[in-house]
Amino acid sequence: MTQACFDTTTTAVQRVARAQEGAATPAAQHVFTQLYADAARAAAQHCDAEAQAGRHLGVLHGVCITLKDNIDVAGETTMAGGVVCAGEAPAVHDAPVVQRLRHAGAVVLGKTTMSEFAFSGVGINPHHGTPVNPADAAHARVPGGSSSGAAVSVALGLAEVGIGTDTGGSIRIPAALCGLVGYKSTQARIPCTGVMELSRTLDTVGSITRSVRACLAVDAVMSQQALPTEAANLRGLRFAVPQTLMMDDVDATVAHAFARTLRHIAEAGAQVVEIPFKALDDIAPLSMPGGFSPIEGYAAHHARLARGAHQIDPRVVARMMLGKGISAQDYLELHNRRKAWIVAAQQTLHGFDAMLCPTVPMVAPLTEPLLKDDEVFFKVNRLLLRNPSAINYMDGCAWSLPCHVAGELPVGLMVSSLAGQDAHLARVALGLENLIYSLHA
């Protein structure tokens, strides 16, 4: 039993009209940095006219999508959730991923809010406001970041796909906190050309949707390398559950949902094996003195910091300044240490079909305490990034699948593997999604 991939019950024009009406409601406040109202209607009309004529534009024919604010659209200055970029030269071309999405028939609704320069897992933005997580009607909770608006645009039903980026979990974190599916591929699968850089070593483009199959359809377009769409039989698969780091400080809701999900996976005939993964404790010390994101982020944005640091989120400035003054020797040593670490990770995970852990160790935190207190913000940010960023460090591939039940705040199950294992992991994710969906339907 699987969920439908995309809506086929309404026309593209109807979907765009519904999305634009929804974007004007209080629930969608701060989701978009800009809406392409006229362009989206025109694209939808073209899709419907082609369908009437019996022509199919591609696998995303008429599918409404949103773009994270750090992705180039021709004729516009790419702002990446900030204001300091105002006045910079506009993009000459759509980013390659945008070109491919449009060519496959996608209708672009607009650009979505994000943590400035993609440098936070929380999703707070002091310039454009912070989208409210739709999972809790009673309390204002963060959506997760940095692809905050991308996730909320899907969670609210405005778009079927939110295109985001993932440097240390920026797709999987908001997917987990908003109860959606997020996919981070091996980095080399999808071009990052035309996407404002945070860390060229770690940046990845991906999507947030409501199903694994929808993510796979989008990935096939953006990567031009289709992955399998046949679900793996879980019986006999071997899953590693690391006991190092990734289960630390897990809150009660996440712990309960994760344990319940592991029990169901084992009952389906898979082997669930708890393993030590000592190398996970080594990532932080190996990343000294700055880590790739501060060093490469400072290199990418140093001119903006020099001319307008006062216009940039102070929390982003503080993290980027950690990369100032790092020597070429220290930077190259970071790469050498990472390469050796990846070899150790490959040895640890050899013989397993995937690694399982909570995507993040907590449900969506309340927004107000994070706005008020830097210490609380940075503590929560570190915890949100901790598990997913380990997969970026190994250049792995990973999914976040919702594994909560009705009445619980969303909890994500992260299903991950090594670099280049995207095809096998896609089949595993489909199998796990089928299991979870059948249990909760």
- Residues labelled catalytic: 68, 146, 170
Strand-pairing partners, residue 207, are 163, 183
Q: Residue 293, preceding bond cis, omega within 30 degrees?
A: no
Give SS3 for 42.
Answer: helix
How far is residue 123's CA from residue 114's CA, in Å, rounded to a whole number? 6
Can you read off the two tokens belonging to residue 167? Answer: 């440097």
The answer to whether 428 touches 228, Cβ cutoff 8 Å, is no
Residue 312, number of CB atoms within 10 A of its CB: 22
For the chain, the straight-line distance linking the first and the last C-alpha, in angstroms and rounded, comes to 9
Tally: H helices and E strands in the chain: 14, 11
Give SS3 for 410.
Answer: coil
Strand-pairing partners, residue 206, are 164
What is the distance, to the nearest Å, from the Cα of residue 265 to the centroid of all Cα atoms in its chain? 24
Neighbour-count burial for 137-158, b at 16+ CB within 10 Å, e otherwise: eeeebbbbbbbbbbbbbbbbeb
Q: What angle do CA 123, 303, 94 make, to 5 degrees?
A: 65
Can you read off the two tokens belonging to residue 422? Answer: 């995207």
Strand-pairing partners, residue 65, are 108, 161
The answer to whether 62 touches 44, Cβ cutoff 8 Å, is yes
What residues contact 117, with CB distance under 8 A and at least 6 apart? Answer: 70, 80, 81, 82, 196, 198, 297, 301, 312, 316, 320
Which candidate, 92, 68, 89, places its Cα nearest to that of 80?
A: 68
